Amino acid sequence: MEQTQQSNGMYGPYGGRFIPETLMGAVQELEASYEEAIQDEAFQARLQQLLKQYVGRENPLYFAANLTEEIGGARIYLKREDLNHTGAHKINNTIGQALLTERMGKRKVVAETGAGQHGVATATVCALLNLDCVIFMGAEDMKRQKLNVFRMELLGAKVEAVEQGSATLKDAVNEALRYWVSNVDDTHYIMGSVLGPHPFPKMVRDFQSVIGRETKQQHLDAEGQLPDAVVACVGGGSNAMGMFYPFIDDHVALYGIEAAGEGVETDHHAATLTKGSPGILHGAMMYLLQDEAGQILEASSISAGLDYPGVGPEHSYLKDTDRVHYLAVTDDDALEAFQLLSRTEGIIPALESSHAVAEAVKIAKTMSPDESLVICLSGRGDKDVEAVQEHLQS
């Protein structure tokens, strides 16, 4: 497999470890512990057992016959991450990192959350492994995702409202990092996406790569060959990176779909790779939405999980090398796709995943019925139905 990553955690010019010195020891310890754990058969066996019995893997690669017929192009498959315990791909990563927390002898966890999916997935594994859990969440996001806040509390987590900045995901990461600096001796930070200082982008990608590995095998079993195209939504980019990574060296077209919000020509979007430029935030060099003076701009999307002004360093690199095509989908188009999949397949997708669905049906239309396309259905839409109802009625 092509190694896009050098040993220092750089992906071309992206990535790195741009963090305060107080965190350096913890990040080095994490890297050592992670590299040791993935070689350890007992660790792997425990991880596999939990993924199978607790998360419910493997989940299906479902042939969406009705959607395929409605669109009239490539055969469309859905990788059903929405069927995982807690309803999204996020738990693939939190299980792995929670096991690492134990391994490092730490009993406390901090995490950030946008839509609440990563917060719920973190609170869930903390309940399972009896770890103390603090989740930072933007006050604005808490309003948008009330049910997930209640879920996290029910699971025993403490949810801290973040009022700073735009009170969304970026600000929640800031506060979680500040909390980690102040509690680094006994606390692990479970980063929710392929973001942050090395080794987080690599480690999160590796834990999420189960998506792509299963998809590859399942598609081979169903079609006797690899898919022609794979489509996934990109906020920070963890489901996309987990889906894409096993296909990087294959002849498969990869599409990462960002949130265009009200349109990439407006100031209200989260299309970092489409409209941003390289810079440094939250410990890594990556594409960012920023002004000329290097101040980070506020991202905007109907989907709280895509509402982040940065994107993982490996995605930044895959954009520059043109290995992955990055496109952006508006709120309106995502809302339409949300309804389309619900109506045709009886599957309500998360608003995040709806961005992938929206672009995927456009791409599928241009392909022939001999070809196939996989959509990473990263999460289920139950959390979004109230917000969608409000939008459709307004």
Partner 1 sequence: METITHGKQYMQVVFNQTLEQNEKIFVPYIMGGDGGIESLIPTLQQLDQAGATAIEIGIPFSDPVADGPTIQEAGKRARETGVTLQQILDKLAEERQSIKAPIIVMTYLNPIFQFGVDRFMEVAQSAGIDGLIIPDLPLEHESFIRQAKEKYGLALIQLVSLTSSKERIKQIAQASEGFLYAVTVNGITGARQTFADDLATHFELLQTYSDVPVLAGFGISTPDHVQSMTEVADGVVVGSQIIQSLKANDFDHIHALINAKDNQ
> Which of 41, 130, 251, 293 is in the footprint of partner 1 by CB under 8 A?
293
Q: In angstroms, give the least distance from the CB of 12 to partner 1.
A: 15
- 90 assigned to active site: yes
Q: Which of 71, 74, 177, 230 binds partner 1 (CB under 8 A)?
A: 177
The least distance separating partner 1 from the CB of residue 197, rounded to whole angstroms, comes to 9
Choosing from 33, 81, 90, 301, which is the catalytic residue?
A: 90
Confirm or reject binding of residue 300 to partner 1 (CB under 8 A).
Answer: no
Q: Which stretch binds partner 1 (CB under 8 A): 66-74, 96-104, 174-182, 220-228?
A: 174-182
| Residue 174 lies near partner 1 (rule: CB under 8 A) | yes
Q: Is 170 in the site for partner 1 (CB under 8 A)?
A: yes
Q: Which of 92, 145, 290, 354 binds partner 1 (CB under 8 A)?
A: 290
The interface region with partner 1, picked from 132-140, 173-181, 233-241, 243-251 by CB under 8 A, is 173-181
292: contact with partner 1 by CB under 8 A: yes
**What is the length of the chain?**
394
At which residue do the structure tokens 């913890």 appear?
26
SS3 for 293?
Answer: coil
Please count the CA atoms within 13 angstroms of the CA of 126 that sit on its side-chain side: 29
From the list 26, 229, 367, 373, which residue makes contact with partner 1 (rule: CB under 8 A)? 26
**Binder of partner 1 out of 40, 146, 266, 294 (CB under 8 A):** 294
DSSP 8-state code for residue 57: P
DSSP H helical ranges for 38-168: 41-50, 65-71, 90-103, 117-129, 139-144, 146-154
Q: Are strands 14-18 and 283-288 parallel, antiparallel or unpaired?
A: antiparallel
Q: Is 15 left (phi over 0), alpha (psi -120 to 50) or beta?
A: left
Candidates 58, 81, 112, 314; catalytic one? 112
- Check residue 21 for interaction with partner 1 (CB under 8 A): yes
Q: Cβ 259 to partner 1, closest distance in Å?
A: 20
Q: What is the dihedral sign for C-alpha 19, 21, 23, 29? A: positive
Residues 256/239, Cβ–Cβ less than 8 Å: no
Is 359 among the catalytic positions? no
Q: What are phi and psi of 106, to 5 degrees?
A: -100, 150
Of 22 and 217, nearer to partner 1 (C-beta) is 22
> Residue 219 is encoded by which pair of tokens?
């598609």
Give me the helices (H) in the chain, please: 21-37, 41-50, 65-71, 90-103, 117-129, 139-144, 146-154, 169-182, 200-208, 210-223, 238-244, 272-275, 313-320, 331-345, 351-365, 385-393
| Piece of 30-38, 133-141, 268-276, 290-298 that binds partner 1 (CB under 8 A) | 290-298
Question: How many CA atoms lie less than 13 Å away from 343 in the CB half-sphere?
Answer: 7
Contact string 185-204 vs partner 1 (x = CB under 8 A): x-------------------
> By CB under 8 A, which span of 114-122, 211-219, 254-262, 288-296 interacts with partner 1?
288-296
Residues acting as catalytic residues: 90, 112, 378
Contacting positions for partner 1 (CB under 8 A): 8, 16-26, 164-165, 170, 174, 177-178, 181-185, 279-283, 288, 290, 292-296
